[in-house]
Structure 1
Amino acid sequence: MEKRKLKKPEAIIFDMDGTLFKTETLLIPVYHRVFDQLRAEGLYSGETPPEEIILSCLGMLLDQIWKKVLPNHDEIVHRRADELLLQLEHEGLKEYVTELYPKVEDTLAQLRERGVRLFVASNGLELYVKDVAETHEIISFFEGVYSAGEHKTSTKVDLVKLLLNNHGVNNAWMVGDRSSDVEAGKQNGQSVIGCAYAGFGADTELVGADALISSFDELIQLYDEAIS
């Protein structure tokens, strides 16, 4: 665990994919089904793009994702891919064995016991983000679950700003695995904890974070050692 001296937060805001949820346990099988359906509908031909491309897009808005995964296809194909992804992820959470990262539930419980207010801020769609939290029975830990899909925000900076304002939070930690999480925390004047265990992004993703953790439960030690 790499860290600077941190101030104890009143609230912690979590990204979902690559932070709480081991996204590839759902995304990889769904990704292949999306392209099977696009081919069946005549909207796509050829091999499915490499899995590494979609995994590298985690943390982006859907519009940005399809521009990277399907750069040579138009908005009609992109929007149909949106629909299929949401539908198949919803079905897949019931069909597949999906996973949170180790010790997520126990760590959230311990933070709540310490009086920390917990939130989620994700660039995903509302149904998907809440589905994951409900399926894995962690939604009750959170005072608010915010998604770009629900609040129509164009950046995570704006989403986190909205969350902070709506809940009167002044001192928070933003916890996530992508540069968008670092940006969202820092541009809103908050500390950032970078999750270095997911491995989806480049080495530079978490530059600027105040601390890096290699497992989720290290948050407890960080919190307990932070300055009141």
Structure 2
Amino acid sequence: MKRPEAIIFDMDGTLFKTETLLIPVYHQVFDQLRLEGLYSGETPPEEIILSCLGMLLDQIWKKVLPNHDEVVHLRADELLLQLEHEGLQEYATELYPRVAETLMKLREHGVRLFVASNGLELYVKDVAETHKIISLFEGVYSAGEHKTKSKVELVRLLLDNHGVNNAWMVGDRSSDVEAGQKNGQTVIGCAYAGFGAGIELDGADVLITSFDELIQLYDEAF
């Protein structure tokens, strides 16, 4: 593989062990929706929300709450953002093993590091700040901030804004694979999170089973 000038990372399921925050917050969201009379019945299975990681929020609620209207979806959005912000201080959330150390080593090698996430701006930056990795990134891009309609569009904007020609796109979902491929970049698929179906990473140039494998890949690239 060609050695990259920059590496672009997805957040959920790539850098951040999302379920350490999302699962307790997910149940809080539905508890509040029930209190407000916007939802009744049991909370949808956790597997549904986990399978939606990597999607835009409006797509997520259409899948989690397919029989509810936009009013409920928008309120769920508000609650999710508020409770995730609070939960990052309340819960013992985690990055994947050796994420911080690996990012620091890549920076020492002169690699420009970025985040590109389909999440909301406050959430994505909150995670990076809480886990003290935000200073390692030259840019933290989110669909929420830039109002992009796909990860392809978000990555194209990032590449253009920062004059990046040769990058690795690192992520765990099909949207990351598509974003790398359609922007002409190498795709590293993260097979350690286990979200979604096995076909999620079809088309990735390389699969890794632990985050720190990126160092060996970088060292072996030319």
TM range (shorter): over 0.9
Q: How many residues align?
A: 222
Counterpart of 2:50? 55
Counterpart of 1:46? 41
Distance 2:217 2:25 in 1: 35
Q: TM-score, normalised by structure 1?
A: 0.97
Aligned-pair CA distance for 1:201: 1.2
1:7 paired to 2:5: no
Counterpart of 2:155? 160
Aligned-pair CA distance for 1:198: 0.3
Residue identity opposite 2:144 in structure 1 = G
Counterpart of 2:146? 151
Distance 1:109 1:128 in 2: 22
Counterpart of 2:193? 198
Gaps in structure 1 of 5+ consecutive residues: 1-5
Gaps in structure 2 of 5+ consecutive residues: none
Corresponding residue to 2:64 among 61, 69, 75: 69
Distance 1:201 1:220 in 2: 26
Once the two structures are superposed, what CA deviation does each residue of 1:59-81 show, in whole Å capped at 9, x if it has no partner? Answer: 00000000000000000000000
Distance 1:177 1:163 in 2: 19
Corresponding residue to 1:132 among 127, 132, 156: 127
Corresponding residue to 1:121 among 116, 123, 126: 116
Secondary structure of the equivalent of 1:106? helix
Distance 1:67 1:94 in 2: 29
Over the matched positions of the two proteins, sequence identity in percent amounts to 86
Counterpart of 1:3? none
Aligned-pair CA distance for 1:9: 0.2
Structure 1 moving runs of 4+ over 3 Å: none
Distance 1:132 1:94 in 2: 10
Secondary structure of the equivalent of 1:86? helix
Counterpart of 2:16? 21
